[in-house]
Amino acid sequence: MEALGSLIQGFGVLADPMNIAYMFIGITLGVLIGVLPGLGGANGVAILLPLTFSMSPTSAIIMLSCIYWGALFGGAITSVLFNIPGEPWSVATTFDGHPMAQKGHAGEALTAAFTSSFFGAFVAVLLITFLAPVIAGFALRFGPAEFFAVQLLTFCSFVGMGSESPFKVLCAMMLGFALAAVGLDSVTGELRMTFGSVELLRGFDFLIAVIGLFGIGEILLTMEEGLAFKGKSAKINAKVVWETWKSLPRYWVTAIRGSIVGCWMGITPGGATPASFMSYGLAKRFSKNRQNFGNGEVEGVVAPETAAHAAGTSALLPMLTLGIPGSPTAAVLLGGLLIWGLQPGPLLFVEQKEFVWGLIASMYLGNIAGLIVVLTTVPVFASILRIPFSIIAPVIVVICAVGAYTVHNAFLDIVMMLVFGVVGYVFKKLSYPLAPLVLALVLGDMAESSFRQAMLVSQGDLAIFWSNPLVGSIVTLALVMLFWPVISALLRKRQSRPDGGAPAVSVK
C-alpha cells in the first residue's frame, strides 16, 4: 500500500504540463532514433543528455527515459517494413514481421509488435513499482564491502553469463577500467596516467565515449556496408488495430513467458537483445504452429517484442535501487544522474523520493503515450527512410559532435569522440562487445572506491568479503558466474559420459 501511495504522489509530480510535454517530445525523438539505423537507444540518450542540463533532474530523466521507450517502439517499424533492425533487439522481429509485411499484413504485424511491447513494459513497470522499494530497503544494510560485491557480481555476470566470448568481454572491460582510472585518484588525489597532459586531469568523460562508441562507430560501420533503404509502406487504421487486438489474447502464454524472460534478462545484465532471441526461441519450441515461424507468424512478432520491452524497462530496477545498470542505456542514465548530483542506490528512495516516484509514474504514462504515438505516426516515420542515407549520416555525425562539444565546451571532446568512434568501429568489426566497456567506464571508479574503502576498514584483509552471510553469498555467486563457462563445460563433459563418470569401455 505504501508503494501505491508513493506512486500516486509520483503522478502528482507528473501532472506538471511541462513534464507531460517533455514526455511526448522524448517519445517522438525516441521513435525517430529507433527508426534510424546507426542510432540507438543508448546513443540517442547520450547525444541528448547534454541538452537536458538546464532542466530539473525530474524533467530531464522523464524526457530521457521516454526517448528510451520510444527507441524500443521505433525499432519494430524498420524491422517489419524494411527488414532493417533499427535496434539490435529488433533483429528477432524481422524473422516473422517482415514476411507478414510482404504478404500485405504490415498493419497487423506493427500493431501486434507495438501492443506486445506495451504489455512487456507494463509488466516490468509493475515489477519496478512493487519490488524497487523492497530492494532499496534491503540495500540500506550495504557497506563498502557489500557495494563492491554487487558491482563484482555485475562484472562477473557479464563475463560468465553473456552470449559473447568471455575473453572478448574481459578485454573490453579491462579497457574500460583503464580509461576510468585516468585522471585524479579519488582516494589519494594523485595523478594517474595523465602523461603530463592538463586535458586528461578530468579523465575520460563517459558521455564522450558513449557518443563516439555507439554513434560514430555505428555510422562508420553502416557507411562501409553501403546501407540502402527498401521496404513496404504501411497504414494502420482503427479496423486493423481492433481486429489485431481481438486475435492477440490467444497468445497470452507467449506474452507472459516473454515478459518473464525479459524481466529476468533486464534485472541481470543480459539485456534486451538476448531476451528477444530467447523469447523467440521458446515461442517457436512450444508453439502449435512452429512450422509457420519464419513465414509470417504473429506469435513470432509477439514473443521478441514483449521480451525486449520488458528487459529494456526492468533494466532500470537495479540502476535505481543499487546503482548497477542492467543495460548500456541504463548505464548512460546512471551517468546522467551522477552529473545532476543524484547518487543512484537505496538512499535515492529516501532523499529523492519525489524524483524516483515521478520517474516510475512516467513509465506508465510514457508507454501509453508511446503506443498512441507509434500507432498514429507509422507512415510519417516510415517515410523518413526514403531519404538517402548519404544525407542522414552527416546529420547524425553533426548531432553527435554538438552533443560532445556541449559537455565541457571543448573542441578536444569532439576529437576524443572521433577517436572513440574509431574504437567502436574496430570493436564491431572484431565482434567485441561495447556494453562491458561502457559499464566498466561508468562503474570503474565506484567499484575501485568501494574496494579500497573495504580494504581500509579491514586493514587489507580480503576476508571482509566473507565476513557476513550477505556479502559472502554475493561474492560467491559472483565467482560462480565468472567461472560459469568452465563449470558448464565440465558438467557437459561429465554428462556425456555413461553413468555420469568413468569413460565407456567397449567389450567385444
Task: Dig out the grid coordinates for 444 from the structure.
Answer: 570503474
Amino acid at the residue 49: L
CB 318 within 8 A of CB 324: yes
DSSP-derived 3-state class of residue 85: coil
Torsion of CA 109, 255, 333, 426, to 10 degrees: -60
Q: What is the pLDDT of residues 38-53, one digit of tens each?
A: 566 666 777 777 777 7
Sign of CA dihedral 460, 461, 462, 467: negative
Neighbours of 386 (CB within 10 A): 10
Give the residue with greater pLDDT, 110 vs 442.
110
Amino acid at the residue 2: E
**pLDDT score recorded for residue 139:** 61
Task: Dig out the grid coordinates for 325 from the structure.
Answer: 545498470
Residue 34 scores a pLDDT above 70? yes
Sign of CA dihedral 432, 344, 53, 198: negative
Closest CA to 385 of 273, 223, 227: 227
- Residue 47 pairs in a beta bridge with none
pLDDT above 90 coverage of the chain, percent:
0
Percent helix, strand and coil across the chain, each rounded to 5?
Answer: 75, 0, 20
Residue 506 scores a pLDDT above 50? no
**pLDDT score recorded for residue 2:** 63
490 Cβ neighbours under 8 A, 6+ residues apart: none
Highest mean pLDDT of the ranges 80-94, 120-134, 138-152 = 120-134
Neighbours of 139 (CB within 10 A): 19
Closest CA to 3 of 106, 91, 134: 134
- Tell me how far apart the alpha carbons of residues 330 and 313 are, in angstroms, rounded to a whole number: 9
Average pLDDT, the chain: 76
- Tell me how far apart the alpha carbons of residues 151 and 182 are, in angstroms, rounded to a whole number: 20
Q: What angle do CA 261, 262, 263 make, to 5 degrees?
A: 95
Amino acid at the residue 176: G
Residue 503 scores a pLDDT above 60? no
Q: What is the pLDDT of residues 313-346, one digit of tens each?
A: 887 777 777 777 666 677 777 777 777 777 777 6
Total residues belonging to the chain: 508
Q: What is the pLDDT of residues 55-91, one digit of tens each?
A: 777 788 788 878 877 877 777 777 777 666 656 667 6
